[in-house]
A and B are shown apart, each in its own frame.
Chain A
Amino acid sequence: MSDAPASTRAGLETRSLTVRYGGLVANSDVSITVRPGEVVGLIGPNGAGKTTFVDAVTGFTQCEGEILLNGTPIQELPPHERRASGLSRTWQSGELFGNLSVAENLLVAARKGGWRTLARDLFGRRKADAGRDLVENALAVVGLEGVTDTLARDLTLGQQKLVGVARALAGGSEVLLLDEPAAGLDSMESQAFASRVRAIAQGGENGAGDGDGPGILLIDHDMSLVLSVCDVVNVLEFGKHIFSGTPAEARTDPTVVAAYLGAPVEATHV
């Protein structure tokens, strides 16, 4: 292990992560690193194992191999403790709390229950609109306004995905795993979303852009989005990690082109 200071902001690292569903190997020896401030792409056709990778890293499915967050192994932790140590995610299908308002969705992530919370709820003093700032900030980061008090299930799919991102950011995040967050956005919204992703990674939440933002793993089908926004791109195929490199390398790499892009093009929708 390296010394402590270097590893405190080492981000997420998986080593030979392998997931089996019965006979199917959904992830085989996947080693991916996401450093703070970096946007890492993960692409691959449907069923390649992208969601499985996120599920394994965040503790929603059994896996073999090692998962390190800032140098500390976390694969034995239950999902909520992984979240507490700074690993957050969104879900491909949104998975908002449909019967709660957008603000409450974010507050769930920011203010957790427990015995101490219970005691404070019952007997402590309470501020009128605690957490309101946090909600407004998180929504501003993803570019959503005027929906604070809407029920989550009444949002459009695109808005739900954005609230999902805001929820993953609320309460602090070291590494953010985004599972197809842009599906459901039109191409204009997609472009806007891409620049927001960059801004978030650069710590743009506070407008500082000083590079202390979270590392982001971005899964998407939109090749132009991924190639334009990511520092590093990883490709999965049938659970195998067939490529890792810069977008420029990806565009010309024969395996990627053959397996996924079909033709060496600037941008295609796959």
Chain B
Amino acid sequence: MATKKKRTPNTQNSSSSWVAITAESAIDTHKDGDPAFVKLRHPSTDAASLYLFSSGDVGLYEVKAFTEDCHSWFIGQAVQRDGRLLYITPMDPLYLMLPYLVKAATEGKFQPLDQVVMDEEFPACSRLLGCTRSLSSVRHIAEEKEVGSQKFHRYSQEKTLQWLNKKVDRIAAALRRTNISVGEGVKSTTYVRVKAESDASDEDYLRYAHGLVSEYISQDLSRALLKHLQLPELLSPKETEPPSKKRKLSELPVEAAEDFSKFNSSDFARKPPKKMTTAQKTLAKVDKSGMKTMSSFFSPKVKVKAERK
């Protein structure tokens, strides 16, 4: 039997080609200058992260990649080994400006923004001030003072929390509109454990939304926001983050197109079903009474009526 070739890892930059689903606003621009991918400090992790400035730095975008093992692209008459799909989506520059304002706040003084939003390690940082929204919206997170023609700013936790609160509400509303599952319980492709109350609660939505915002702010600010939202901190991590194991369940194995058994030959008798993966076996053992199938959540126009407690 021939030995299978050993799998070789995809080495640095051997692809030099990317497939990206991009916000049209990043493209529709009549300004001068090419859009640019830059590295900026991630507002939550502090690590270098990839962003995009549109022409003239008018808009800011973040870059995420759908990354799953064993994928490649056919693009026209070519193969691209790297099977990732990039998403270039709008990014609120305020999230990126916040850490610098917070840092400068220790001095307690009002300062001009261009002296605050600066980073030796990430020189592109100062370009953030060029975004349309940056200067017009900074008052959501900072107090403003005008002296002559110059503006000065100082970080305001109070304002920031209010701003973040509005964000959380916006996000929660968006979650309700979509079919995104925010409730507790094991999420699998065909079965979703349904709580006794049957639908995700207000709190579930708030926590989920808070979790999403927390991806863009520091841990300290995240905790302060949680308090501000009057959501108690959950004690065990198990309660906050339901296991995110996504179990891909096949339907019954695809059978051969033809029923070969008609020909009374043992070789074309129905093959036994493919071995179940461990995930499938585990799910098969789980008590599924009380579990709804995934499709029952997708009936059209089922609106979750959120109860005001």
**A and B part of one assembly:** no
User: Which residues of B line the A interface, CB within 8 A?
Assistant: none
**A residues lining the B interface (CB < 8 Å):** none
